[in-house]
Amino acid sequence: MSIAANLKHLWAELPEGVQLVAVSKFHPNEAIEEAYRAGQRIFGENKVQEMSAKYISLPKDIQWHFIGHLQTNKIKYIIPYVTLIHGVDSYRLLSEINKYAVKADRVVKCLLQIHIAQEETKFGFNYDECQTMLSQGTWKELSNVQICGLMSMASNIDNVDQIKKEFSQLHDFFLKVKQEYFSDFEYFTELSIGMSDDYKLAIEEGSTLVRIGSRIFGERYY
Ligand SMILES: *Cc1c(COP(=O)(O)O)cnc(C)c1O
């Protein structure tokens, strides 16, 4: 199947209120252009250099979402154009993003990354760490970042019940922090969960942003 056909198939499946982030990491500009011609506008990348190179050469109405682990020394390269930073996993990173956003005179939208998977290697706050950070409240003083929601990855396993459980606990946590900390911040609306193999489960558990790569562009060759 072609990229355009894969996209049409996915769009038809997404309920109202769920947006598709087409994860184009490791795929060439030609693949993104094909998706763009089919009508896709939101693309996700996980490497600063790769995303910036693509930003420069591709149409300017593309919305670039950074979905990788962001190192503080690279923030400045994406601040001028990034639409949403999904993987903010420390207060320090959030406040560094704010610093560069102030300099660039932009307000930058971010998601807090929560670690819900069984694997040790994935980045993110655990629930307690996130709650502690939010209750400290200093994030409210960061004038040029907006915490728009949460992002996470489920365990990389075939056990549907386990994945459902992880997503559903995250959804509960999302609703809880939304009520406790963000009742005055109407932009706290996004739950970024779901990839090629688990996006249907994620949608059932309240996803508003699915991040899908291989199901659109095919396998990646690293
Ligand atoms: C690569 C990646 C995806 C997309 O993965 P697929 O399985 O190809 O859909 C989604 N989210 C993040 C954070 C990724 O790094």
Taken in order 161, 165, 167, 172, the sign of the CA dihedral is positive
Give residue 35's pLDDT: 98
Does the Cβ of 48 fall within 6 Å of ligand 1?
no
Report pLDDT for 220: 74
Is the shortest distance between the CB of 196 and ligand 1 below 6 Å? yes
pLDDT band at residue 221 under the 50/70/90 scheme = low
CA atoms within 13 A on the CB side of 11: 12
Q: Name the residue at shortest CA distance from atom 10 of ligand 1.
A: 211
Is the shortest distance between the CB of 213 and ligand 1 below 6 Å? yes
Q: What is the pLDDT of residue 120?
A: 78
Distance 26 CA to ligand 1 centre (A): 11
- In the block, which residue shows the tokens 């992880």? 166
State the chain's mean pLDDT as an integer: 96
- Counting ligand 1 atoms within 8 A of each CB, the residue from 43, 46, 84 with the most, and so the one to mutate, is 46
How large is the average pLDDT for residues 68-78? 97
Question: How far does residue 105's CA lie from ligand 1's centre (Å)?
Answer: 30
Q: How many residues does the chain have?
A: 222
pLDDT above 70 for 206: yes
Among 10, 25, 195, name the best residue to mutate to test ligand 1's pocket (greatest count of ligand atoms within 8 A of Cβ). Answer: 195
Cα 67 to middle of ligand 1, angstroms: 8
pLDDT of the residue at 122: 63
Whether 74 has a pLDDT exceeding 70, the answer reads yes
Question: Residues with Cβ < 8 Å from 34, sequence gap 6 or more?
Answer: 2, 3, 4
Give pLDDT tens digits for 156-193. Answer: 999 999 999 999 999 999 999 999 999 999 999 999 99
pLDDT digits (tens, 9 = 90+) for 119-130: 876 689 999 999
Q: Is 156 in the pocket of ligand 1 (CB under 6 A)?
A: no
Q: How far from chain centre, in Å, is Cα 159?
A: 23
pLDDT at 222: 59
- Report which of 150, 165, 175, 149 is spatially closest to residue 198, judged by C-alpha positions: 165
Cβ of residue 65 lying under 6 Å from some atom of ligand 1: no
Distances in Å between the Cα of 46 and the Cα atoms of 23, 54, 79, 83, 176 are: 9, 12, 14, 14, 29
- Please identify, by atom number, the ligand 1 atom nearest to the C-alpha of residue 151: 13
Task: Look up residue 117 and give its DSSP letter.
Answer: S
Residue 3 has pLDDT above 90, yes or no: yes
Residue nearest to ligand 1 atom 6, measured at CA: 213
Tens digits of residue pLDDT in 84-131: 999 999 999 999 999 999 999 999 999 999 999 988 766 899 999 999
CATH of segment(s) 3-217: 3.20.20.10
Asked if residue 46 has its Cβ within 6 Å of ligand 1, the reply is yes
What dihedral angle (degrees, nearest 10) is formed by the CA atoms of 45, 47, 53, 58? 0
Kindly tell me if the per-residue pLDDT of 207 is higher than 70: yes
**Every domain of the chain and the residues it spans:** 3-217
Please give the number of the atom of ligand 1 that sits closest to the Cα of 86: 13
Average pLDDT on 130-145 reads: 98
